[in-house]
Amino acid sequence: MANEFIDTRFSVLDERFSRVDGDFTIERIHSGARKSEGPAYFAAGRYLVWSDIPNDRLLRWDETTGAVGVLRQPSGYANGNTIDRQGRLITCEQGNRRVTRTEHDGTVSVLADRWQGKRLNSPNDVVVRADGSIWFTDPSYGITTDYEGNAAEGEIDGCHVYRIDPDGGVHLVADDFSRPNGLAFSLDEQRLYVVDTRQEPSHIRVFDVTDTGDLKGGEIFAECDFGRFDGMRLDSAGRVWAAAWDGLHCFDPDGTLIGKLLLPESASNLTFGGAKRNHLFIAAGTSIYTLRVTFNGARYPE
């Protein structure tokens, strides 16, 4: 099927958003998924990987040819994905209840599947810090029904946020969430933003990261005014871009909602790619949307 184009609609809610712009049209480079999630861009290979959760597969889009193919099926009902500093794919496998890393030779290593001997619920989203630690959220969406995983009883009392240390240790860092979901670090990695999807209203909290890798604070950074938040990414100005039911919501670092990028499908997650990190990719509903923009994705410490 030929790619489709829709008009780009930036909604300016504050003058600080007035210079945010991009292509006149947004390209839909893939459709037909049941639920698109977790886009991750590989700069070295110029391709995008994302999850089609209910179809239990990881998909791959080749930027040089435009071709879309299956990277892995079954995928363990993969949800969130990211790339570590060594260019390896890190994946939250909801169905297998684990966080994995795909090595350069294609083998899959299990990074975490238990905490204190108990099986995780269903890891949802994941980010990597410069010190080599890996942080992920663990709500229960993948064990509630068979739609996005495998229905099962939870072994852990609650839905939490965890940190995996370089030595493999798994540590609980936040235990006062309803359904923790998307997460992202500030530009200096000294703060961690975490979505709590099932709060009313759905909101983003922000924590300080201590020298020991623990979290403190956790005040509400922003609330959702349309549906619920899901995944997040930051741009190079420190603005927080959060996926919501009407598209992407953009927040100034002070927490003010300054604008939106409106979409015809409910957005679930986003990432920046391209040589200049100004190629925005959005997983929304059954599709993947993309456009070039006048801002850049965050560059994190090496």
What does the pLDDT look like over 167-213, one tens digit per residue? 999 999 999 999 999 999 999 999 999 999 999 999 999 999 999 99
Taking residues 46-54, report their average pLDDT. 98
Would you state the structure tokens that stand for residue 157, as one six-digit string?
């009392």
Distance (Å, whole) CA 86 – CA 132: 10
Residues of the chain above pLDDT 70, percent: 99
Residue 17's pLDDT band, with cuts at 50, 70 and 90, is very high
Helix, strand, coil percentages for the chain (3-state, nearest 5): 0, 50, 45
Residue 1's pLDDT band, with cuts at 50, 70 and 90, is low
Cα dihedral: 76, 78, 84, 86 (round 10): 50
Question: For 227-267, how does the pLDDT look when each residue is reduced to its tens digit (9 = 90+)?
Answer: 999 999 999 999 999 999 999 999 999 999 999 999 999 99
pLDDT averaged over the chain?
Answer: 97
Taking residues 20-30, report their average pLDDT. 98
- pLDDT attached to residue 2: 67
Distance (Å, whole) CA 59 – CA 71: 5
- In sequence order, which residues have a C-beta less than 8 Å from that of residue 295 and are 6 or more positions away? 20, 235, 236, 237, 239, 278
Distance (Å, whole) CA 9 – CA 15: 16
- pLDDT attached to residue 190: 98
Cα dihedral: 266, 297, 128, 269 (round 10): 0
Residue 3's pLDDT band, with cuts at 50, 70 and 90, is confident
Taking residues 29-51, report their average pLDDT. 97
Q: How far is CA 64 from the centre of its chain?
A: 24
Would you state the structure tokens that stand for residue 281, as one six-digit string?
């990719």
